[in-house]
Structure 1
Amino acid sequence: MKWKGLLCAACLLAGVSGIQAAPESDYQHQALTKDMLPVFYPALKQQMTYPMSWLSGHFRNFDQWRHEARKQLRQALLTPDSHVDFQPEVLDTIDRGSYVGYQLAFNLTDESRVSALMLVPKTKGRHAAAILLHDHGAKFDIGKEKMIKPWGDEQKLASAQAWSDKFFTGRFVGDEMAKLGYVVIAVDALGWGDRGPMAYEKQQALASNFFNLGRSLAGNMAYEDMRAFDFLASRPEVDPERVAIVGFSMGSYRAWQLAALRPQAAATVADSWMGTYEGLMTPGNNVLRGQSAYYMMHPGLPQLMDFPDIAGIAAPKPMLVFNGGQDKLFPHAAVEQAYQKLHQIWRSQHAENHLVTKVWPKLGHVFYKAQQLEAFDWLKQWVHPELVQQQVSSEH
């Protein structure tokens, strides 16, 4: 009788307050999807209106927008400026015919002194140059060695050659560019090569520890790329007005991000990483898995700008963006949506001839020889005009 009285009282209160019992089927028992998205994620995606996008219509002056957007991007890195001198040191050299390979050590930031691989043509004077940004690939034993052929370590050489065979038609992008007369440099991102050891399942812990330290893993990588660019541009062998950015896969993301952060870059080649948040944040996509995604995740930034909006901060500087039509990581619709946004931005500055976007229908997540040759041919008009002159002379 006592419990019955309590239940009646509860019913009376519910009736007075207007609360009515709902059928059990109306309650939301499942709070997360199998991709670890909250079930209300579609509502959150609708709130991603990108108010800092040049395409939002909120801005009239492109220069002012670009200044403010770059400032917002820089702040999102959660990384203060470094002031330590680079203090480079040559650790080893190798003669490769028309160019020389250097293994260097230098102060990348106030906290990190790193090793790097640099190739320098033997010709005199200041050269066009390129910073080479390596991929992720869940392969951590090599980083810079994915872009420049290593020496002095047979195990790393074998690993790098196998990677090159799989993704680059057996070629090393850095060595191919050095043969063309470029100074090139490659540095390990944190977790790769000499800056490991990293394991796939440990990335999330590393990212959370950066957050615990008031920093960001993605921001750390982005800022280190900025410093590596500055180091290359400071070299006596390099013409600072002709420094390009070249990246593959995660390195492609790093490439157009660096172009946005460093307006001094002369031109950018980005292969196999471009899409929109709308198109990539879909069930089953890599960006929803955590782990590797943390290298490209700046807290709060998606509320301000889409991926192509960030790349668009580099406009109207020359940029080439490739994607593979068979690349399962980047759905065709997401790529095309991003390309449309990019062209809108460059077109608004009457510089659409400075932007090249291309989907290679039969290729996947690769940077094969044909793509490299097309990219190098495009790049030389912006940073290596003497190659254009040599070609014209040879044709006549």
Structure 2
Amino acid sequence: MLSTLALVSLPSVHAQAGPPLSARDAAWRAQIRHTLYVPDELPPLEAKTWSSFSPVAGVIAERVTYATASGMRVPAIVYRPEKRKGKLPGIVVVNGHGGDKFAWYAFYSGMMFARAGAVVVTYDPIGEGERNIDRKSRAGSHDAIVATPEGVPADDWGQRLAGLMQVDVMQAVAYLGQRPEVDPKRIATVGYSMGAFITGITGAIDPAIHAVLLSGGGTFDDEADGGKSFDTGKLPCQAPPWRSLRILGDEFHKRGAVLYTLNADRGPMLVENGSMDEVMDIPHRGPEWFAAMRAQAVALHGSDRNLFTTHVDPGMSHRTAWVERPGVAWLNEQIHFANWTAADIERMPTTHISDWAHANDVDITPNYMKENREGGLNALGTGLPGIAREQLMVLPADEWEREKNVLTYESWKEKTMAAEQAMKR
């Protein structure tokens, strides 16, 4: 049997001689969703709140699960202000590799933005935290290379994995949008590293997202130019899906310009990087690289309205810069925090993360505790605690045992292998 991808006919999307802008961009969106196995209609959320607690005065944290692709479910901690003024904005935090809702920046961001007056979703990516068979973090389960059945394209596994990650984010956005206290027109996503890769693509296909902030990422490049490229990477969640999106590029434009164009259709975007971020190879992609990509996106988009802007931290490397003043200020401009004004953000004291982590027994790997990485961040606000791992578990142990077949990577892997076997028939 032919691959499902071969059975869909989509309109031409050439930049210089194609359909009108709206039809062209709709076709691009459809191609991305189809290539990454993102369903046309997302599953019902079937959200469930298991319990709640207060990690710090004025903030409530809810333990929640919601549905995602392939009949799976996502465990999440949702932070909100205990008291609210009118409708609130929403934020989805999308983790980097090895990160999950237990990562320091996930729970710090949750508490910080809830104090600011937002509802914040933090969740476990597939294979991490409660979506890991041993409920471990930094497990890297989904990084394993899985061979596809004979006759199925080798990149198919990574395309399906990436699609699941897209739906995880889209369902978090949908969850926020259906909460009565959240303004569905003021929802942002913030993504770090792998999360920036995921979030940049999700923003291109989900117009329900208003603002997107990428930290340690945004290097959607067609050519390595002597440096690193997603095309040649080894991670199944990035290299195979990125290669599959070559369908978007032609002799007139690059895939990255298409993604940035579609994001501009959706709303504003900020790309934050450290000038010495070797993980994203920023030394090979300085301001001139981003300027060239932006110029190509402007040409595709027809204007610079909502086209991404950049923020560079001199001398800094890979880190979650959205917790610092510039990122928080940008988010406030886009989604308008209920409790913090621009003046509040400008004068607010900060917390030096390495000092905070040592004082609160917060686990950050030594390589990321460095001053030019996460340890050197000056995050807005003071007095936020570390949160014990046990508090961030959504499901009680007995319930997790009953639910693990719809939670873990191993269960998703079985379903996905069965789906690929069915492609051969």
TM over 0.5: yes
2:5 maps to which residue?
A: none
Report the alpha carbon displacement of residue 265 of structure 1 after superposing the two structures with TM.
Answer: 1.2
* C-alpha contact 1:131 1:184 (8 A) present in aligned 2: yes
1:173 maps to which residue?
A: 109
Whole-angstrom distance in 1 between the partners of 2:131 and 2:325: 31
Whole-angstrom distance in 1 between the partners of 2:62 and 2:189: 19
**Superposed, which structure 2 residues align to 1:24-35 within 5 Å?**
none
Whole-angstrom distance in 2 between the partners of 1:214 and 1:367: 25
1:375 maps to which residue?
A: 327
Query: Does the alignment pair 1:145 with 2:79?
Result: no
Q: What is the aligned-residue identity percentage?
A: 21
Report the alpha carbon displacement of residue 250 of structure 1 after superposing the two structures with TM.
Answer: 1.0
Whole-angstrom distance in 2 between the partners of 1:177 and 1:129: 9
Report the alpha carbon displacement of residue 134 of structure 1 after superposing the two structures with TM.
Answer: 0.5
Q: How many residues align?
A: 317
1:18 maps to which residue?
A: none
Secondary structure at 1:313 match in 2: helix
Q: Which sits farther off after the overlay, 320-329 or 280-289?
A: 280-289
**Superposed, which structure 2 residues align to 1:269-288 within 5 Å?**
269-280=213-224, 282=226, 288=232
1:330 maps to which residue?
A: 280
Pairwise CA RMSD: 3.4
1:360 maps to which residue?
A: 313
Query: Does the alignment pair 1:77 with 2:77?
Result: no
TM-score, length-scaled by structure 2:
0.65
1:239 to 183, 198, 204: 183
Report the alpha carbon displacement of residue 240 of structure 1 after superposing the two structures with TM.
Answer: 0.6
Report the alpha carbon displacement of residue 270 of structure 1 after superposing the two structures with TM.
Answer: 0.6
In structure 2, relative to structure 1, the CA distance for the partners of 1:314 and 1:201 (3 Å cut) is closer
Report the alpha carbon displacement of residue 376 of structure 1 after superposing the two structures with TM.
Answer: 1.1
1:17 maps to which residue?
A: none
Whole-angstrom distance in 2 between the partners of 1:373 and 1:246: 15
Q: Gaps (5+ residues) in structure 1?
A: 1-50, 151-171
Report the alpha carbon displacement of residue 104 of structure 1 after superposing the two structures with TM.
Answer: 1.2
2:26 maps to which residue?
A: 67
1:188 alignment partner AA: D
Whole-angstrom distance in 1 between the partners of 2:197 and 2:124: 15
TM-score, length-scaled by structure 1:
0.69
Secondary structure at 2:71 match in 1: coil
Report the alpha carbon displacement of residue 116 of structure 1 after superposing the two structures with TM.
Answer: 0.4
Q: Gaps (5+ residues) in structure 2?
A: 1-11, 250-254, 348-425
* C-alpha contact 2:159 2:244 (8 A) present in aligned 1: no
Q: Which sits farther off after the overlay, 76-85 or 313-322?
A: 76-85
2:143 alignment partner AA: Q
Whole-angstrom distance in 1 between the partners of 2:199 and 2:237: 16
Whole-angstrom distance in 2 between the partners of 1:79 and 1:60: 24
1:192 alignment partner AA: E
**Superposed, which structure 2 residues align to 1:1-396 within 5 Å?**
52=13, 56-59=15-18, 61-80=20-39, 81-109=41-69, 111-124=71-84, 125-136=86-97, 139=98, 142-146=99-103, 172-197=108-133, 199-200=139-140, 203-206=143-146, 208=148, 216-280=160-224, 282=226, 288-291=232-235, 293-294=237-238, 297-298=241-242, 300-305=244-249, 306-316=255-265, 317-331=267-281, 332-334=283-285, 336-346=288-298, 348-352=301-305, 355-368=308-321, 372-384=324-336, 391=343
